[in-house]
Amino acid sequence: MLVYFYLAALIFGGVLLVSSILLGGHDDADLDADADAEMEFEVDEADGVDKSIGAGDGGFLLWPLRSLRFWIFFLAAFGLTGILLRGLGLADEIPTLIAALAMGGVSGWTAASVVRRLMRDETGRAASSKDYIGKTAKVLVPVKPQSVGKIRVRVGGQQVDLLAVTDDEAITSKDEVIVIEMDGTRARVARLDTKD
């Protein structure tokens, strides 16, 4: 009787799913580890061969099979579909098994794909010094030579306040500046000449 198999899959997958939701999925044991490494082989120019081999995604459809997240969602959806169809007498054994496998596969693949795509999103990454250079900023506290002022610059969709210094003449809070260099957490700025 496959009903007990469906029930076991539903319980096991459900417990793993609920525990990952409650405990957070920060330390996932995904085996795919986002294998984006690329290996490059360069051969002597005399041979005229230059080949790159990308480890890439490991196959468009097969990479989720290495993900624990795939198997958690697969088991939960497989078990739930089997219980609903077979346990309630809505379908025979073979159609139920096919439907349960299909639902488990689609659910697991979708969950693994969505989370993988979200993990690649860079909106949450910290800005580096290079991200500030060349940005225009609004002066909050006037900046004078040999003293520190304050500016507000937009980086990565967020407004960031920075300490600022200048080598030029004093910059008032009405001026707009450009970040020309970052020295640690201080921005070296210059007045942005808006006159044509």
Give residue-wise pLDDT tens across range 68-125: 888 899 999 999 999 999 878 888 889 989 999 999 999 988 888 888 887 765 555 6
Contact 112, 74 (CB under 8 A): no
Question: What pLDDT does 100 receive?
Answer: 92
| pLDDT at 58 > cutoff 80 | no
Say if residue 79 is exposed, middle or buried (CB neighbours under 10 Å; 0-12, 13-18, 19+): buried
Range of the domain at 59: 2-120
- pTM for the model: 0.48
Q: What is the mean pLDDT of residues 147-170?
A: 87
Q: Are 94 and 150 found together in one domain?
A: no
Q: Is residue 196 part of a domain?
A: no
Alpha carbons 79 and 99: distance in angstroms, whole number: 11
**24 CB-near residues (< 8 Å, 6+ apart):** none
Question: How many structural domains comprise the chain?
Answer: 2
User: Domain ends where: 102, 120, 138?
Assistant: 120
Q: Average pLDDT in the 128-137 region?
A: 84
Q: Is the pLDDT of residue 29 over 70?
A: no
Q: Is residue 184 part of a domain?
A: yes
The pLDDT, as a whole number, for residue 121 is 57
